[in-house]
Structure 1
Amino acid sequence: MYDFGVRQALSGHRGAYHPQQANQCPGCGKSHWMIGRVTAECAFCGTALPLMGGFSSGNGMMRPRTIPALAPLAA
């Protein structure tokens, strides 16, 4: 059994961007962000933080498990 809580507690502080909260950059202390699908990047110093709760949204994030049948090529 793997305990994620203990592992994170022993590895130190890990910053993350939390939507709908005031987020200050750990690098420069400012609060202007460029938000992507997986990370948020500080507009001033470029520090990137992972998004909390935003990993399964956006175009191209969900892919089908089956491979569609390919049409025969016209030669």
Structure 2
Amino acid sequence: MQLGNLPVSPADAGYRIAYHLNEANHCPGCGRSHWLVGRLTAECAYCATALPIRTGQMSGTGLFRTRVPFVPLAA
């Protein structure tokens, strides 16, 4: 895999903490497990640590775009 001119290896990316839906999630900041879950992130209700939500799939209204041909305006 390549990103721009830099080679990128998923194995070199390191450990990334994420919120997993339908699982017990403990906050890496305080260890508690009460979360305020949004569309893209989940925030700990006690210490406000925010984590990205890991769902394994993508969803949303902007996921698929149709390509509309460009039609110039007549001058």
Shorter chain as normaliser: what TM range? 0.5 to 0.7
The 3-state SS of whatever aligns with 2:54 is coil
Aligned identity (percent) is 49
Tell me the SS of whatever aligns to 1:9.
helix
Higher strand share: 2
Q: Distance in 2 between matches of 1:11 and 1:65?
A: 33
Give the equivalent residue in structure 1 for 2:73. none
Secondary structure of 2:19's match?
coil
TM-score calculated relative to the size of structure 1: 0.64
Runs of 4+ in 1 over 2 A off after TM superposition: 6-12, 61-67
In structure 2, what is the equivalent of residue 7 of structure 1?
A: 9
1:1-75 aligned at under 5 Å gives the runs 2=1, 7-53=9-55, 55-57=58-60, 61-62=61-62, 65=66
Question: Any gaps of 5 or more consecutive residues in structure 2?
Answer: 3-7, 69-75
Instruction: Tell me how far 1:7 sits from its aligned partner.
Output: 3.1
Give the number of aligned pairs.
61
- In the alignment, the residues of structure 1 paired with residue 25 and residue 53 of structure 2 have an alpha-carbon distance, to the nearest angstrom, of 11
**Which 10-residue stretch deviates more, 7-16 or 34-43?**
7-16
* CA RMSD of superposed structures (Å): 2.5
